[in-house]
Amino acid sequence: MNPKATISTLPPSIRLSDEGLDAAVATVATNEYGEQKPVYIAAERALTIYLDRREIVTVMTLGTQPELLTLGWLINQRLVPDISAIKSIRVNWETESVAVTTHGAIEGLEEKLGKKTVTTGCGQGAMYGDMMAGIHKINMQAPRLDQSLIYAVLKSLNEHNDIYRQAGAVHGCALCKGTHILRFVEDVGRHNAVDAIAGYMQLKQITGEDKIFYTTGRLTSEMVIKVAQMGIPVLLSRSGATHMGLILARRVGVTLISRAKGRHFLVYTGADKINYDAIPVSKMHDRSETSSSKRTSSHGNAA
Amino acid sequence: MNPKATISTLPPSIRLSDEGLDAAVATVATNEYGEQKPVYIAAERALTIYLDRREIVTVMTLGTQPELLTLGWLINQRLVPDISAIKSIRVNWETESVAVTTHGAIEGLEEKLGKKTVTTGCGQGAMYGDMMAGIHKINMQAPRLDQSLIYAVLKSLNEHNDIYRQAGAVHGCALCKGTHILRFVEDVGRHNAVDAIAGYMQLKQITGEDKIFYTTGRLTSEMVIKVAQMGIPVLLSRSGATHMGLILARRVGVTLISRAKGRHFLVYTGADKINYDAIPVSKMHDRSETSSSKRTSSHGNAA
């Protein structure tokens, strides 16, 4: 089993429970030969967030890092300004709930909750409307980025997909500084993984400007918004991007690199910031790997 | 370009606009050789649903079948009982909105909206709490299913992933009767694709008991709930399942087949309903295809 995540150091002002659960559950499945075989399957748990005793939302999660998920979700949804507003986060799996208490009541909470727009679908997020409100103020300066660093990051990431390898049905996100993977999070909801990383950045007081954000999932509008709000100017994905994701990335100054796998990638915006210092030698060979037959067989990878 | 979807026949009682848009947008990306090349990228549009002039939700969608998406979303969320309650559905892309009018006001709408629980993440859905309420009444009798039919359905589906092939970043869902694909829908949100199929079933008055539901996405709790509510007893996915998806499938009597690709599949529940009439001959050969190196390289397919 993948060990549950634990939380090490904390700023003095916040108290967190440490109720991360195992990511995978053992079960038995029948394969195409009619044989029963033991398999692992990704956990999925409901976790209802209470903010100062008020029920806010129920998230479906793998459950490995519920405190960081809660913290990051509240901040990414702009319901709390930052970690200093929060006194404690306590998860109780028996009631499938997490109680968040603040130092003082959150100002304008009712108004924030009242204004919310709920979006659905895989490229979704609750309270999207509220989140969009802040996006126009963001104007990042994406750093120059070596192609060789992109390849090195992808190589480092290969060692960080334990739960997917074991049970599938999860998405992974990573916070990278150079080739160093500061945090890798997998969850059943790809937005949960982003939120847990936002929680981690808050907890460790890490800023985004010199980081790269990697995700196995698609670069939709909400993914770009969240990462921009986390101050991270480079977004790297093994999946594709949507047109609205691209429009938003251009607006806020995020370098958007998608379909990053092996030696391949496509830069949708920010291509002028890339230093092409590692152009693949065997051009013909590389291109043959992206033949249409391969594309066809990977339908469903858009994640 | 993939032609936009059009709606052909309607029951006399409902009026629908026909405002489906193109699924893909042309843009330019820079590849790993530093070369600019024209590519297609999946569209993503905001669509705000108004029910009898009341703002309900904003969904992010590809936008090809906005009327069916709206219809299916309202029914899957249990906000309207069925299509007979609806007078018209009119999409206006200039205001990114869809106006739904009913024959009479929806009874208890305020209460339904007030009770909502919003879930997030990829395995998400607005108003999940409300949806769970009906699940305990469902007890389906999954039909016997030939392994050869599973293979034939997968083969038929190969011709139905136009948008993914062109632009990526979408999920596909299909409603199948035998090997016949009655409807194939792609969308940026995988739950949107399910909802659009629910809308199609309502519009055509198609029942689910003799159908197979296919998805490129993961079988999470909400996917199982939606398909069960649509009365479809067989759920087939090329991706994995979550533990809560499995628990719910067992409870409602859905046959859950995941990782279905080529000759491979894993039956998580309902294996006794499968007639193993097409067990692959070359067992060793088949197994070598699922080697760990291949699993590793496909991280992010969990969709």
Q: What residues of chain B lie within 8 A of the CB of A55, using their CB?
A: 117
**φ and ψ of B31, to 5 deg:** -95, -170
Rounded to whole angstroms, the Cα distance separating A39 from A29 reads 7
Best mutation target among A122, A151, A297 (most B Cβ atoms within 10 Å) is A122
User: Is B122 noted as a catalytic residue in this protein?
Assistant: yes
Tokens of A270: 């920010």
- In chain B, the N- to C-terminal Cα span, in Å, equals 24
Count of Cβ atoms closer than 10 Å to residue A206 Cβ:
17
Give B132 to chain A, closest Cα distance, Å.
12
Rounded to whole angstroms, the Cα distance separating B57 from B80 reads 14
Residue A12 has a pLDDT of: 56
Q: What is the location of CATH 3.40.140.10 in chain B? A: 145-297
Name which of A57, A188, A243 is nearest B44 (Cβ-Cβ): A243
Q: What is the location of CATH 3.10.20.10 in chain B? A: 15-135
Residue B112 has a pLDDT of: 72
Kind and range of the H or E element at B224?
helix B221-229
Beta strand pairing call for A24-31 and A97-102: unpaired
The mean pLDDT value of chain A amounts to 82
Yes or no, beta carbons of B165 and A295 under 8 Å apart: yes
Yes or no, beta carbons of B30 and A279 under 8 Å apart: no
Options B26, B122, B133, B271, the catalytic residue: B122
Tokens of B269: 């529940």
Q: What residues of chain A lie within 8 A of the CB of B31, using their CB?
A: 264-267
Yes or no, beta carbons of B280 and A32 under 8 Å apart: yes
Return the residue matching tokens 């409603």: B175
What's the DSSP call for residue A289?
Answer: T
Return all residues near B79 (Cβ < 8 A) that are at least 6 apart: B51, B56, B106, B109, B112, B113, B127
Q: Based on C-alpha coordinates, what's the Rg of chain A?
A: 20
Helix intervals (H) in chain A:
66-76, 109-114, 128-135, 147-157, 162-167, 190-204, 221-229, 243-252, 283-288, 292-297
Q: What residues of chain A lie within 8 A of the CB of B295, using their CB?
A: 165
- In chain A, the N- to C-terminal Cα span, in Å, equals 24
Residue B296 has a pLDDT of: 36
CATH number at B145-297: 3.40.140.10
Rounded to whole angstroms, the Cα distance separating A293 from A195 reads 36
CATH number at B15-135: 3.10.20.10
Rounded to whole angstroms, the Cα distance separating B174 from B3 reads 18
Best mutation target among A44, A97, A267 (most B Cβ atoms within 10 Å) is A44
Give B293 to chain A, closest Cα distance, Å.
10
Return all residues near A96 (Cβ < 8 A) that are at least 6 apart: A45, A46, A47, A48
Name which of B41, B124, B216 is nearest A243 (Cβ-Cβ): B41
Q: Based on C-alpha coordinates, what's the Rg of chain B?
A: 20
Report percent pLDDT > 70 for chain A: 79
Q: Which of the four pLDDT bands, split at 50, 70 and 90, describes residue A165?
A: low
Return all residues near B241 (Cβ < 8 A) that are at least 6 apart: A41, A42, A169, B218, B219, B220, B249, B256, B258, B268
Give A67 to chain B, closest Cα distance, Å.
16
Rounded to whole angstroms, the Cα distance separating A152 from A150 reads 5
Kind and range of the H or E element at B172?
strand B171-177
Give A2 to chain B, closest Cα distance, Å.
16
User: Which of the two residues, B198 and A190, has the higher pLDDT score?
Assistant: B198
3-state DSSP of A48-68: EEEECCEEEEEEEECCCCHHH
DSSP SS3 for A76: helix
User: Nearest chain A Cα to B45, which residue?
Assistant: A244
Yes or no, beta carbons of A42 and B120 under 8 Å apart: no
List per-residue pLDDT tens for chain B, 303 residues long.
344 555 555 555 899 999 999 888 999 999 999 999 999 998 999 899 999 998 888 888 999 999 999 999 998 888 888 899 999 999 999 999 999 999 988 887 777 776 544 443 333 344 444 566 677 788 898 899 999 999 999 999 887 766 666 666 678 899 999 999 999 998 887 788 999 999 999 999 999 999 999 998 889 888 899 999 999 999 999 988 999 999 999 999 999 999 999 999 999 999 999 999 999 986 554 544 444 433 333 333 333
Yes or no, beta carbons of B264 and A218 under 8 Å apart: no
